[in-house]
Amino acid sequence: MQITINDRIRSHLPTLSEESYRQLEANILRDGCIDPLVLWIDENLNNVLVDGHNRYSICQKHGLPFNHIHVEFADLDSVIEWIEDFQAGRRNLPPDWFAYYLGQKYEREKKAQNDGGAGTPKATGDQNDHRLKTAEKIAADHGVSAPTVRRAAEFARDVEAIADKVGDEARSEILDGELKATRADVHEVAEALQDETLTFSSAKEAFDWVKQQRQEKADAKRAARDERLIELSAGNSPLPSDRKYPIIYADPPWQYDFSPSTARSVENHYPTMPIEDIMAMDVASLATDDAILFLWATPSFIKKGISVLEAWGFQLATSMVWVKDKIGTGIYVRQRHEYLLIGKRGNPITPRPGSQPDSVIEAPRDRHSAKPEKVYDIIEEMYPALPKIELFCRSPRDGWSVWGNQSEAAE
């Protein structure tokens, strides 16, 4: 009997690992081909192999007999649907294959609800509600969450979009992991292929092109960042020497010993300074004999912050803490607060009784490293009449003197 291998069907089935294939081959050589092949007679009367591709390959290789059964299907789409439903129920499926089958099932059931498929009433009312119910039903059937089902559907749509553009073999190349692509890669390629002017002969060529485009963009961004940092780093002028200030506010550009990634590096946002350079700044000559310093320090930089405070001629008096509305990153704990160290020099005046602020500042996190606007209000309420200067200023405050290479205007 002549058996036909259909490429579209084959691309909807996981490829066995070499180890699993060898184990299956050893089992068949020892016990024979126990499970029958599943065949479908198509419209051209071909015996199309639906299930059992690896078993068939091994039997052909060794000249072994095999059993088979015929299953009736309306068309090739029905075959694919049967395969996806059957495979989704298997254990130990590779994660991407499971997600793909799950996503395809969601897409089919959602379409049946929206269009009124066989045995399924046409969806009425809020379509989002129907989609939610579809996701929840499939999630319950397969022991996952509804968001997982919806993410799987997005992944499956991307895979199908790529296979539609570059050929069915792309499907198994992606899902078998041959292309070593993440789901983000798959989505990016699927979006790129929406451009009708782009043509690729294979999935690998498409993925390589997208990765090259991404690298070129990253290189351009890095070059622009480096150029900006060079420009900014040349902008620091000497500290003012013609005036002294009783109130000094500073948010030093701390240089971290490491960064989780280039994309998240502090230097992507502003030029930083080594702790030695910050400590060496002659801030003491900028302060009056009796002065107050407000100095920002992240939790991991408290010790360095105190060292800077002391190097500038101040003693730690107390501190405030900024509690943010969003959680951040961290090694031991995920940070949601920063410290505002308060140092004193000489015998500065204290705030008027009753004007002392709460030591906890609750304010939302804004752009990278930006501190709450309300801190200016707090300092002004504590010392309304005294001259003030902000070091490392990026957005000058009316009535304040400023110094720093990022300030939009400086006195």
Is the per-residue pLDDT at 408 higher than 50? no
Domain limits for position 255: 245-403
Query: Rounded to two decimals, what is the model's pTM?
Result: 0.55
Give a yes or no: residue 160 inside a domain: yes
In a domain, 29, yes or no: yes
Mean pLDDT (whole number) for 167-192: 94
The reply to whether 197 falls in a domain is: yes
User: Which residue, of 64, 88, 112, is where some domain finishes?
Assistant: 88
313 and 261 in a common domain: yes
What is the distance between the alpha carbons of residues 396 and 393, in angstroms, rounded to a whole number? 6
Q: How many domains does the chain have?
A: 3
Same domain, 143 and 279: no
The pLDDT tens digits of the residues spanning 103-120 come to 999 999 888 877 665 444
Same structural domain, 100 and 188: yes
Q: What size, in residues, is the chain?
A: 411
Determine, yes or no, domain membership for 409.
Answer: no
| Whether residues 269 and 391 fall in one domain | yes
* pLDDT confidence of residue 407: 46
Q: What are the distances in angstroms from CA 172 to CA 30, 82, 87, 166, 225?
A: 30, 17, 14, 12, 39
CATH code at position 9: 3.90.1530.10
pLDDT at 132: 61
Dihedral over Cα of 321, 322, 326, 327: its sign: negative
- pLDDT tens-digit readout, 199-228: 899 999 999 999 999 899 888 877 776 665
Boundary (domain end) residue, out of 211, 234, 257: 234
At 107 the pLDDT is: 92
Q: Are 42 and 3 in contact (CB under 8 A)?
A: no
The fraction of the chain above a pLDDT of 70, given in percent, is 86
Q: 265 and 332: one domain?
A: yes
Same-domain status, 142 and 230? yes
Statement to judge: residues 147 and 99 lie in one domain: yes
| Domain-embedded: residue 124 | yes
Residues 115 and 201 in one domain: yes
Considering the domain architecture, whether residues 84 and 103 belong to the same structural domain is answered as no
Write down which residue in 88, 115, 149 finishes a domain. Answer: 88
Average pLDDT, the chain: 86
Query: Mean pLDDT across the stretch 34-42?
Result: 95
Residue 411 belongs to some domain of the structure: no
* Together in a domain, 10 and 159: no
Residue 52 and residue 111 in one domain = no
**For position 234, what pLDDT does the model report?**
52
Same domain, 386 and 259: yes
Average pLDDT rounded to a whole number, residues 249-255: 90
* pLDDT score of 310: 97
> Does any domain span residue 2?
yes
> What angle is formed at CA 400 by the lines to CA 394 and CA 403, rounded to 5 degrees?
45
Q: Is the pLDDT of residue 271 over 60?
A: yes
The full DSSP string for 318-384 is EEEEEEPSS----SSS---EEEEEEEEESSPPPPPTT-PPPSEEE----STTPPPTHHHHHHHHHSS
pLDDT score, position 4: 95
Predicted pLDDT at 369: 67
- What is the per-residue pLDDT for 268? 47
Instruction: Give the per-residue pLDDT at 129.
Output: 55
pLDDT at position 123: 43
Strands 245-250, 388-391: pairing is: parallel
